[in-house]
Amino acid sequence: MSKHQHLTHEDRIEIEVSLRQGHSIRLIAARLGKSRSCISREIRTRSVHSEKA
C-alpha cells in the first residue's frame, strides 16, 4: 500500500452520502478500501460535511 491514499471526487460523494445515512467511518472506509484515518481526515479537513458535526 502506498503512503498516501488519494480520494476521487466519487469517493468524497460516497463519504458524504454515507455519513448522511448514519454509517460509521469504519464502514465507509471498508466500502472504499481506504483506512479509517484517511476517511476521518477527509471529513475533518475537506469539503465533506457530516450532519453530526
Rounded average pLDDT over 12-28: 96
Does residue 2 surpass a pLDDT of 60? Answer: no
Is 28 exposed, middle or buried, given 0-12, 13-18 or 19+ CB atoms closer than 10 A? Answer: buried
Q: What is the CATH number for 48?
A: 1.10.10
What's the pTM?
0.78
Which range of residues forms the domain containing residue 15? 1-53
Total domains in the fold of the chain: 1
**Residue with the larger pLDDT of the pair 23 and 4:** 23
Residue 50: name the closest of 22, 9, 8, 26 by CA: 22
